[in-house]
Amino acid sequence: MTDLHRLTATEIAAGIRERRFTAVEVAGDTLAHVERLNPVLNCFTDILAESAMESAAEVDARLADGQAPGLLAGVPFGVKNLFDIAGLPTLAGSKINRDLPPATADGVLVARMKSAGAVLLGGQHMDEYAYGFTTENAHYGPARNPRDMAHVAGGSSGGSAAAVAAGLGPVSLGSDTNGSIRVPSSFCGIFGLKPTFGRLPRTGSFPFVHDLDHLGPFARSVADLALCYDALQGWDAGDPACANRPIEQTLMRLEQPIDGLRVAVLDGWFRDTAGPEALTAVGLVADALKAERSITLDNAAEARAAAFCITAAEGANLHFENLKTRADDFDPAVRDRLLAGALLPSTVLVQAHRLRRWFRDQVARVFRDVDVVLAPATPCPAPLIGQPTIRLGGQDVPTRPNIGVYTQPISFIGLPVVAVPVPSSTALPVGVQIIAAPWQESLALRVAAHLERCGVVAAPLAEV
């Protein structure tokens, strides 16, 4: 069968369980689509065609034997190449990591996807060491946006988002330190979930900033996002930051009504510098949710600056030895920011963490009075590949460091966010952040599902 790559994960898993098609047929059609489009989109750095077909055959065999094939039966997926994949070195978008020995086991979330019956297609392109918002990588070239290939896919999980948007697998896994799930979701016009900090274990993934790193899924529907999230949850001892929280069954809750939900729009920092497309997107979502209240988060700009400082300092510390001995092997844009982080005085880092605690307490008080807050995911649609500046608050500012202006203050304090795509008939899509209180992923997903049912947000397959 052809065009199976166009189906959502939910449709694939149901079709395989109902024996309308096989996992082998889905994997074969999806891999053919990957083979056709990856040379132009540059989404995958490693394609595991042989092992993917073997895994698909195992799903079909379990079903034939009367065994449960899993929640994600036969669903193809890819992972950002900072996730460990058994038998491959974990590149993390770098040249230096090519010299590492192959991973001896899959990362925990990769293993959980496979245990649920999903079929791994391979590793996906990213900014070097996750330090970027565009996936313009000096070693491996840019990932291209399937909505318009002259534009960036966003970053640092650009390959993972672009692959989902183009049908190179219905779902994928990425990471988000300062916005690396929400930014590419916005630019590629798909859904992304950044869970609460500590919700999903990071065991078996290459780190960037221990205090800020999150892992999460991308999808073209809210149901698929919830399906993956339900399969990924659970404590793991390998990540000291992972919280032992009850597992949510979010997929079962998506149809629950949101009547009486208290929704507010973030203004100030989150409004004053946004472009017209971002403001329109937030306005459409706010109208659909009957959000009439606005809230200002004091010191959001300072929170973003503190996130920058923690990112630079911790990133520099992680890569300090290679900065001393292999500086020329870094992507120059990443190397220079890491070097700057290595020069930050300790007092700056101490002050940044103090501000983080203060800002977290301030935002906790906000959630006493509201259930969900809305903000743009990016200040504008996807810039052109190589575009040096974007317009922000009436000023031209460097593109790469400023795309995450609205995501950084939120991940800085670990809040759960669903990024939802607002399509446009005249321009590239822009995403909106649906932000909830800690551990309230199910609420953010319910709101996203409501917006999807209303037709306000959608992630149609990009036709490339």
Chunked into runs of 10 residues, the chain (464 residues) has average pLDDT values of: 91 97 98 98 98 98 96 98 98 98 98 98 98 98 98 98 98 98 98 98 98 98 98 98 95 94 96 95 98 94 97 97 97 96 96 97 96 98 97 93 97 98 91 98 98 98 94
Return d(Cα 452, Cα 225) in angstroms, integer: 12
**Which residues, 6+ apart, have CB-to-CB distance to 204 below 8 Å?**
83, 84, 103, 105, 106, 107, 108, 109, 110, 111, 238
Q: Which residue in 157, 172, 175, 180 is the catalytic one? A: 180
Bridge pairing between strands 119-124 and 76-80: parallel
Return d(Cα 22, Cα 10) in angstroms, integer: 14
Is residue 404 classed as helix, strand or coil in its secondary structure?
coil
- Which token pair is 442? 């199910």
Report the pLDDT value the prediction gives residue 115, as an integer from 0 to 100.
Answer: 98
65: how many CB neighbours lie within 10 A of its CB?
A: 8
Report the pLDDT value the prediction gives residue 278, as an integer from 0 to 100.
Answer: 97
Question: What phi-psi label fits residue 306: left (phi over 0), alpha (psi between -120 and 50 degrees) or beta?
Answer: alpha
CB 235 within 8 A of CB 191: no
Report the pLDDT value the prediction gives residue 427, as an integer from 0 to 100.
Answer: 83
Of 40, 248, 16, the C-alpha closest to 118 is: 16
Catalytic-residue membership of 80: yes
Instruction: For tokens 């698929």, name the residue.
Output: 224
Q: Which residue in 156, 157, 172, 221 is the catalytic one? A: 156
Bridge pairing between strands 263-266 and 372-376: parallel
Q: Which residue in 55, 80, 221, 442 is the catalytic one? A: 80
Report the pLDDT value the prediction gives residue 425, as an integer from 0 to 100.
Answer: 82
Q: Give the DSSP H/E element, type plus range, for residue 279.
A: helix 276-288
Four-way CATH pick for 4-454: 2.60.40.10, 3.90.1300.10, 2.40.30.10, 1.10.287.3510: 3.90.1300.10
Render pLDDT for 334-365 as a digit per residue (tens, 0 to 9).
999 999 999 999 999 999 999 999 999 999 99
**Which residues, 6+ apart, have CB-to-CB distance to 236 below 8 Å?**
108, 201, 203, 242
Tell me how far CA of residue 229 lies from CA of 36, 172, 217, 267, 351, in angstroms. Answer: 29, 11, 7, 30, 34
Buried-exposed string 287-300: b where 16+ CB fall within 10 A, e elsewhere: ebbebeeebebebb
Return d(Cα 382, Cα 176) in angstroms, integer: 18
SS3 content of the chain, % helix, strand, coil (to 5): 40, 15, 45
- Which token pair is 73? 């039966």
pTM of the model: 0.97
Provide the β-strand partners of residue 80.
124
